[in-house]
Amino acid sequence: MVTLYDYLPSGNGYKVRLLLSQLGVRFRLVEKDIMKGETRTPDFLAINPNGRIPVLELEDGRRLAESDAILFYLAEGTRFLPEERLARAEVLQWMFFEQYSHEPYIAVARFWTHYLGKAVDAEKTERGYQALDVMERHLGVRQFFVGERYTIADVALYAYTHVAHEGGFNLVAYPNVRAWLGRVASEPGHVAITRRQFG
């Protein structure tokens, strides 16, 4: 059985838990509370020198960090990752978008607001809405992000978008995004962000 080192409120960790659930893969959950510094201890830094969750530990003891890399690994050979070359690259395109244009603003605003009780600066809010604007336009003519099918691009973007309100983002003006959130939530194997389904 694989082991997942994770912090349940984390959207990055949730991506992996969601995909594992949808793949029907059982796993052992080891929770590390980032608010208590549990990912900065010598023991955890030996697991991931970058001191971040999630980390997937394979049955043979090898480990893989970075949420989108874990998604790509788990999705290989499944319906969640296209075989066609351009479609695979488009999946990666949206996953890079999520990490560089979406997560630094929407996820960070959520963390500051919901967990630290701090105000979010206007630039982060503006950049977060810019990312949502891109998503809204793209979803105006399609059901999912790549190839009209649910892929790990959707998993990656769903994780923090579906809790964007916790960072102060209002999705009322984003009907296409909201409809897409509903489609993702109705996918088989969907689980809530803090559910300990295999813990």
What would the 3-class secondary structure string for 25-41 be? CCEEEEECCHHHCCCCC
Predicted confidence at residue 115, as pLDDT, reads: 76
Q: Tell me the pTM.
A: 0.95
Burial class, 191, CB count within 10 angstroms (exposed 0-12 / middle 13-18 / buried 19+): middle
- Res. 92 pLDDT band, cuts 50 70 90: very high
Task: Please state the rounded mean pLDDT for residues 20-48.
Answer: 95
Q: Domains in the chain, ordered, with CATH? A: 2-75 (3.40.30.10), 85-185 (1.20.1050.10)
Query: Is residue 198 predicted with pLDDT exceeding 80?
Result: no
Residue-wise pLDDT tens digits, 35-86 = 899 999 999 999 999 999 999 999 999 999 999 999 999 999 999 999 999 9
Asked if residue 54 has a cis previous peptide bond (ω within 30° of 0), the answer is yes
Predicted confidence at residue 197, as pLDDT, reads: 53
Residue-wise pLDDT tens digits, 118-167 = 888 899 999 999 999 999 999 999 999 999 999 999 999 999 999 999 99
Task: Please state the rounded mean pLDDT for residues 18-24.
Answer: 97
Predicted confidence at residue 137, as pLDDT, reads: 98
Task: Please state the rounded mean pLDDT for residues 91-111.
Answer: 95
Predicted confidence at residue 199, as pLDDT, reads: 40
**Which residue in 112, 127, 129 sits closest to 166, CA to CA?**
112
Predicted confidence at residue 194, as pLDDT, reads: 81
Predicted confidence at residue 121, as pLDDT, reads: 86
